[in-house]
Structure 1
Amino acid sequence: MTAIELFPTMRRIGARLSPLNPGRRGSRMSQDELDSTDAAAKVPPLRPRIDIAMRHPTPETQERVMHRDRGMHLARQEAWDRLSHEIRAAEAKRELTSGGTPVAALLSRGARHDAVKAARDAILVGDIAGGFDALIALHDDLREGCPGDHAVKHVVAAAYLDLAQICAGGQSLGKLSPNLRKTHDRALETAYQLVDRFDPFANDSPLWAAVRCGVLPADPAPEQRVADDYEDVIELDPGCPGHLRAMGRDLLPARFGSYGLLDQQARRVVGQTSDVWGTGAYSIVMAGATEMDPGVLNHIDSDLFAEGVYEILTRFPSPHYANIFAAFTGLIVPSTGIDTPVTRQIIGCFDWIIADYLTELHPILWAEARRPGTAPRRDGDPIRRGRNRAEQAISQRIGSFLHEGESIVFTASGMRISKD
């Protein structure tokens, strides 16, 4: 059964837009094509043919900044008791931003911001030992003032994980200098030692369950723990999509799993989270894994993936999720160059996502999308890049099926084709 048969909403545009040009399905986009602001010249003029409101900053971005800044403020005031209270309260309510980011995690991120920034700045100028010393100072301060407070101690453990990532810099650990590798390993080991002091279930703390997943690289046998550790954090906080995406990445063969285990756990977690996501957890896990490894597309159940995306967008009909899955199906998957019935069906989801659920453009989400396995771009104007990528994806997929004088217009009730 194809996705067009599964969902009645897709039939509405199917007659007008099908059959889509098969030459465009799965056609490989180079990284230059993804990133170049001149890429729009490869398709018919985008304006006035595409009319969509652009929103930046988005509600999700604003909420993240607000909660992070709150944590930063409390730390600078040394109001650790108040910070602990607010982190605990946010965890107890499983409070999330509109895009699904845990508020407690944002408070913790803000609280450690200054120490982590000092560590990063030291490492950037070659003072690797000074980078670690910045976190020791934070650790010593909180050891005396809050010896058994699991909420405040999370700030310390997460800071050490941040330092390990700073040292790695997105590179293979084997490519690090001896000093960087030593500091990376020391930071990771310190966080690992802190993990055993706080039980996530006894403290009802998804934050600590997530740290347990974060220190998997320091475990002697991470392959034996990865599935159980992620089941724990998802059980404690099933509404957070970040845990599902992280699980997908850590279950890849290059990390601590295999394609078989990835599929098994993605299906298993559907039952664990059905009250929140329906079958959507499968789609989130697989999207997270695909963004790191395009080989996942050779093992994905495209019917279940399409059904999951549909359930997410009907349960959470927000522009945030619509933009995420539009970018995945319309940009990320086509960029892999993998042309199979599975990828065609996944790319086909782009049509009904933009027709029925895309009401405004969130350019940062499109700017952050990249070919699986490549590093994100940090230069240039991400807003312009994100908008160009989105408009090109829409134009390439639908533009050639417009009649003369028609344009694509996105409104609060969905996409429509307008006669100029």
Structure 2
Amino acid sequence: MPVLDNLTTLIRKARALHDAPHPNGPVLNIEALKATPKLTLPVKPSSEEEDLHHALFESGLYLARQDAWATLGERIRAADAARAMTPGGVPEAEILAEGARADAITAATRAVNAGDELGAVSIMNDMHLVLDETPGDHGVAYVVAMAHIDIGWAWRGEGWRQDIPAAHRAAFFRHFKSASDLIDRFDAFELDSPMLAAARCALLAAETRPRTRASDDYEDLIDLAPCMAKYMRALGNHMLPRWFGSYERLDHEARRTMERTADVWGRGGYSWTYLDALLVDDEAFALLDADLFCAGLRDILSRQTDQHTANVLAAYTGTALEPEGVNVEARARIADCFDWIVTDHLREVHPRVWYAAKGVWATRLDDQDRLTKGRQRASTALDRHARGLPPVTAPAARDTSGS
């Protein structure tokens, strides 16, 4: 099939784009004040991870625009069954589906912002027609279900429940109910489908008693795809009190996940589960075992050796966490990991990762601004590393004799 062959070639080219060195590309030159060698790291304005993500997204978008839904469903199901991931661990099936629904989400979001519920419904009615063309295809059903979830969140917004207009909340629940009806047609375990299990976890936000089933739903998901760190990170976030758990449940699930995924990640499951929770909730540090968390980071980087992951964890330990707050000692221990991550694992700088390290993607900055700010943030942190200074997240003075 020529279209499919061309798309496959595009993705292969994206994977290979950064295999060759870039001698004329930008670099960060960090020279210590002491008599130490210069640390030179190439800056990749577009990384292998980002290029492959873009190629997959565009593939899904292209096939949807060509109404090639049977081909699209087949590709999504194949990627899901193979547990195909980007180098940084993002499921390829989910990226293809994101591209496939992009046009519908853009149009529906405009309708939502205009308060036009009938317009949003009409767009989704058109999407449902593709289900008639591909009966029984859980790849296509997943695309439509996730479109409902995205539009539901567009209606709800990010405010507190009591601040959301009643009509918007009703639209949120209607879209989530439509998504749930679609997902309920399929059994994630019978179909060996992590993406269906992930959709079930995404639907927890509209459940009447999500706390009673959140742990079980995420256990099913992670058992289906223990290699995909994205799902452990989502589990940790959803175990926070603001969602479906408590700090005790967060720590319990982090330890339980570590034990269940030890053959894949060693102690890394503990770190993955805590990673995003620590970033968004200061109180999540209260029960953290910092030694176990840091050991988990070592296990992660010994197993997932791509530069995207190295950049994510370098930016996280070097810039993302506040130095003061609950459990200062644990924060300092995590900040200390920056040194060995840079020395042992970081070989190139991905500015977008450093820009996004503190969760600030939702801004009006254009991409060039993000690249510039990300490069500046990396340069500052790496300069301190070369000078033998603690990272910017570390307290100004602390006893490191036991480190």
Q: Percent of counterpart pairs with the same letter?
A: 38
Question: Is residue 94 from structure 1 mapped to residue 83 from structure 2 by the alignment?
Answer: yes
Give the direction of change, closer, same or farther, for the CA distance of 1:104–1:234 in structure 2 (3 Å limit). same
**What is residue 239 of structure 1 aligned with on the other side?**
227
Query: Once the 2 structures are TM-superposed, how far is the Cα of residue 70 of structure 1 from its aligned partner?
Result: 1.2
Counterpart contact for 2:321–2:331, Cα < 8 Å: yes
**What is residue 9 of structure 2 aligned with on the other side?**
none
**What is residue 268 of structure 1 aligned with on the other side?**
256
| Whole-angstrom distance in 1 between the partners of 2:198 and 2:61 | 21
TM-score (norm 1): 0.79
**What is residue 372 of structure 2 aligned with on the other side?**
384
Query: What SS is found at the alignment partner of 1:52?
Result: strand
Counterpart contact for 1:363–1:386, Cα < 8 Å: yes
| Whole-angstrom distance in 2 between the partners of 1:348 and 1:377 | 30
TM-score (norm 2): 0.82
Matches within 5 A, 1:183-222: 183-222=171-210
Query: Once the 2 structures are TM-superposed, how far is the Cα of residue 237 of structure 1 from its aligned partner?
Result: 1.1
The one-letter code sitting in structure 1 at the alignment partner of 2:93 is: A
Query: Once the 2 structures are TM-superposed, how far is the Cα of residue 314 of structure 1 from its aligned partner?
Result: 1.3
Give per-residue Cα distances to partners, 1:339-396, cap 9 Å, x unaligned: 622111111111111111111111111111227xx78434251111111112222334
| Whole-angstrom distance in 1 between the partners of 2:136 and 2:98 | 19
CA RMSD of aligned residues (A): 2.3
Give the direction of change, closer, same or farther, for the CA distance of 1:147–1:354 in structure 2 (3 Å limit). same
Gaps of 5+ in 2: 1-32, 391-403
| Whole-angstrom distance in 1 between the partners of 2:338 and 2:38 | 18
- The size of the alignment, in residue pairs, is 354
Give the direction of change, closer, same or farther, for the CA distance of 1:401–1:255 in structure 2 (3 Å limit). closer
| Whole-angstrom distance in 2 between the partners of 1:297 and 1:259 | 9
Gaps of 5+ in 1: 1-43, 403-420
Question: Is residue 342 from structure 1 mapped to residue 333 from structure 2 by the alignment?
Answer: no
Deviates further, 206-215 or 162-171? 162-171
| Whole-angstrom distance in 1 between the partners of 2:165 and 2:79 | 40
Question: Is residue 256 from structure 1 mapped to residue 258 from structure 2 by the alignment?
Answer: no
Higher relative contact order (CA 8 A, sep 6+): 1
Deviates further, 244-253 or 388-397? 388-397
Give the direction of change, closer, same or farther, for the CA distance of 1:232–1:378 in structure 2 (3 Å limit). farther
Query: What SS is found at the alignment partner of 1:75?
Result: helix
**What is residue 127 of structure 2 aligned with on the other side?**
138
Counterpart contact for 2:58–2:99, Cα < 8 Å: yes
| Whole-angstrom distance in 2 between the partners of 1:295 and 1:239 | 28
**What is residue 224 of structure 1 aligned with on the other side?**
212
Counterpart contact for 2:282–2:325, Cα < 8 Å: no
Counterpart contact for 2:77–2:138, Cα < 8 Å: no
| Whole-angstrom distance in 2 between the partners of 1:338 and 1:228 | 29
The one-letter code sitting in structure 2 at the alignment partner of 1:135 is: M
| Whole-angstrom distance in 1 between the partners of 2:259 and 2:268 | 10
Residue number among 302, 306, 320 corresponding to 1:314 in the alignment: 302
Query: Once the 2 structures are TM-superposed, how far is the Cα of residue 335 of structure 1 from its aligned partner?
Result: 5.3
Counterpart contact for 1:72–1:111, Cα < 8 Å: yes
Give the direction of change, closer, same or farther, for the CA distance of 1:71–1:177 in structure 2 (3 Å limit). same
**What is residue 397 of structure 2 aligned with on the other side?**
none
